[in-house]
Amino acid sequence: MGRKSNKKPKRNEIHSICSTVIQLGEALNLKRLSQLQTHVYIEQISIFPEKVLTLHEAKKYIRNNPKIKRATNRMDTFFTYNPLWHEQIGKIYALLERVKISEEQSKDVLHLKRTNRILTVGSTTAIEGNRLTVQQVFDVINDKVVFAPLHDIQEVKNAFSAYGQIPDLDPYSVDDLLKAHRAITENLIQESGQFRSVGVAVVDSKGKVLHLGANFEEVPARVAELLEWGKTTDTHALIKSSAMHFMIEHIHPFRDGNGRIGRLWQTLVLSKWNELFEWLPVETMIYYNQEKYYQALQQSQSNSGMPDCRPFIDFMLDIIGNAMVRYVESEEKNNGGLRGGIKGGLNEVEQAIVSLIRENQYIRVFEMAQKLSKPVRTIENHISRLKERGIVSRMGSKKTGYWKIN
């Protein structure tokens, strides 16, 4: 039966029509377009010539038709704009000025940058289930002996190496994306630095499928398309970086390491816009908001084909703003009481305690002990010394109070 329709689709409708036909056909595991007539409108199929009979031929037709290929560019419609983003971006600009001023006044900026980098590495790996404590992460980076699973140790070493490559990476180069993935997954997976050769699915703890990655045969083209969009779009870097972060997770181009590479790539894009972002603890704030992070990712997915990553961009702009506030507060405090403490010789445990308090002022002593793999009594002794030197204070009661860095 021929495909006839009096209704001609508008050019701006071609994207959704092609997306519906191709993705629905794949989801139903159908081979011929005629099998889709009971699932979608006839006019949706009639966009293809009658000689195009199979799903494979439909994909080939789209690839070889420049007009349709341009119209079906996924990057044109993968997020809707939120008018509130202007206000959030304005606040971030103001915070950038504060960060710049604080760094100019700080004599310990290199120490703080290294500390933030190590915390970033610990956070981005912990999000994926790495079991090393903060102290162990510091020890691994400082080439100390750590008794922990070799996989977790290698994962931290790799992440630290990958973040160290940021100044030399091009955020819009496919080769550099693969290079960074190789650094992140070296000695951990077989397809290190390679796009996956199998299908993948994101599942929750109960085994429920939350999202199917792109067809592995389409991954190279989808990634190239994403990076070309990033290179040519006039979208603001704060929005663009968040969108690219999401789309890397959505495409899921690698067998493993997609989360780490997505977070690294957002930091990379932002650092090319403003070098201060190379050191801001964005990943650390994501770690402390993991549940919301995954909720935003899930809310931005779509069962109908094209995602709308507006919820994820909303989330990331909040996270970036919060990370900058924390960084500014750390800098300003380091320019006061904490600088004297560091000059007076904070040991690594005390530095780690201060870092934990910076990130979570409500953290409890036993939680510090767990994260640093130290006895509670040892942590209490270090906190007493920090209090005596005026570096930290306890505000309120033991149960409901919080820590303050002076």
User: What is the structure's pLDDT at 117?
Assistant: 94
User: What is the structure's pLDDT at 34?
Assistant: 60
Binding residue per annotation — 207?
yes
Residues 180-237: tens digit of each pLDDT: 999 999 999 999 999 999 988 777 777 777 788 888 899 999 999 899 899 988 889 9
Residues 156-175: tens digit of each pLDDT: 999 999 999 999 999 999 99
Q: Is the pLDDT of residue 20 over 70?
A: no
Q: How far is CA 49 from the centre of its chain?
A: 41
Q: Is the pLDDT of residue 19 over 80?
A: no
For the chain, give every domain's residue range.
11-72, 85-334, 349-405
210-220 burial: b if 16+ Cβ within 10 Å, else e: ebebbebeebe
C-alpha to C-alpha distance for 117 and 42, rounded to whole angstroms: 55
Catalytic residue status for 252: yes
User: What is the structure's pLDDT at 305?
Assistant: 60
User: What is the structure's pLDDT at 277?
Assistant: 95
Residues 284-311: tens digit of each pLDDT: 999 999 999 999 999 998 655 678 999 9
Residues 323-340: tens digit of each pLDDT: 888 887 776 666 554 444
Average pLDDT, the chain: 81
Binding residue per annotation — 213?
no
pLDDT tier, 24 (very low <50, low <70, confident <90, very high otherwise): very low
Given a contact cutoff of 8 angstroms between Cβ atoms, the answer to whether 312 and 242 are in contact is: yes
Is 85-334 assigned to CATH 2.60.40.1180? no
- What is the arithmetic mean of pLDDT over 350-354? 85
Catalytic residue among 181, 245, 250, 252: 252
Binding residue per annotation — 122?
no
Binding residue per annotation — 210?
yes
Residues 373-398: tens digit of each pLDDT: 888 999 998 898 888 777 888 887 77
What would the CATH number be for the domain defined by 349-405? Answer: 1.10.10.10
User: What is the structure's pLDDT at 339?
Assistant: 42
**Percentage above 90 pLDDT, the chain:** 40
Q: Is the pLDDT of residue 70 over 60?
A: no
Binding residue per annotation — 2?
no
Binding residue per annotation — 204?
yes
pTM, two decimals, is 0.67
- What is the arithmetic mean of pLDDT over 35-59? 57
Binding residue per annotation — 337?
no
Binding residue per annotation — 74?
no
Q: Phi/psi of residue 142, each to 5°?
A: -90, 15
User: What is the structure's pLDDT at 33?
Assistant: 55
Binding residue per annotation — 99?
no
Query: What is the Cα Rg of the chain in Å?
Result: 25
User: What is the structure's pLDDT at 210?
Assistant: 76
User: What is the structure's pLDDT at 406?
Assistant: 72
- Burial (Cβ within 10 Å: 0-12, 13-18, ≥19) of residue 271: buried
Q: Phi/psi of residue 209, each to 5°?
A: -75, 120
The DSSP bridge pattern shows strands 209-212 and 201-203 to be: antiparallel
Q: What is the DSSP letter of 341?
A: H
Given a contact cutoff of 8 angstroms between Cβ atoms, the answer to whether 44 and 17 are in contact is: yes
Q: Is the pLDDT of residue 2 over 50?
A: no
pLDDT tier, 52 (very low <50, low <70, confident <90, very high otherwise): low
- What is the arithmetic mean of pLDDT over 58-67? 63
User: What is the structure's pLDDT at 220?
Assistant: 92
